[in-house]
Amino acid sequence: MGTLITLLHMRRLAREDQIPYDLISQIGSVTHIESWVRERLIYTVDIPVEVLRTTSNIISNIRNTGRFNGDCDDAAILVSSICMGLNIPCWIVAIKDGILDSNYSHVFVEASYEEGRLIIDPTVSQDIEIVYSSCMKVKV
C-alpha cells in the first residue's frame, strides 16, 4: 500500500505545476525528454528519508543553476510533467528488481506516443536494459 500512496503523491506533484512553454519548446518531443532531463540531473540519493520534489522546485533549480539534485522519483515527477505539457499520455512505474525483493526499488515513466510505448528513465545509463520482476503503474 505504501508504494501506491507514493505513486499517487508523485502523480499529484506532476499534475500540480505546469511546465513553462519555453522549456517545453526546448524539449520539443517525447524522444528528447530523457536526454534533456539527464543533462540537468545531478543524481542524489535521499537518505535516510525519501523526499519528493515538486515540479516548480525542480524547474526553479534548473532556471537558477542549469541543474537540479534528485533521484529516480524526482526525475519521474519532472518527466511526467513534461509529458503532460506535450500532451503525451504517461504512467509512473514502480518496479521490483528481483523475485526475492519485497520492496519497490526504482521508478521511471512510460509514455505512449505514435510509435508505441517508450520508457523514459534519465537516471540509468542509456545502454542498460531495465529488467524487473514486477511493477505497479499509475496513469498521470
Q: pLDDT of 66-123, one tens digit each?
A: 999 999 999 999 999 999 999 999 999 999 876 666 678 899 999 999 889 999 999 9
Tell me the pLDDT tens digit for each residue of 89-99: 999 999 987 66
Shortest CA distance to 85 belongs to which of 139, 16, 8?
Answer: 16
Residues spanned by the domain of 31: 2-139
Q: Supply the pTM of this predicted model.
A: 0.92
| Predicted local distance difference test score (pLDDT) of residue 98 | 67
Residue 125, number of CB atoms within 10 A of its CB: 7
Domain of 19, CATH number, reads 3.10.620.30
Question: Considering only 50-54, 56-60, 95-99, 124-128, which range has the smallest mean pLDDT?
Answer: 95-99
C-alpha to C-alpha distance for 131 and 27, rounded to whole angstroms: 27
Strands across the sheet containing 90-96: 116-120, 106-113, 90-96, 134-139
Find out whether 76 and 52 touch, Cβ atoms under 8 Å: no
Domain count, the chain: 1
Cis peptide before 20 (omega within 30 of 0): no
Q: How many CA atoms lie within 13 A of 136 on its CB side?
A: 15
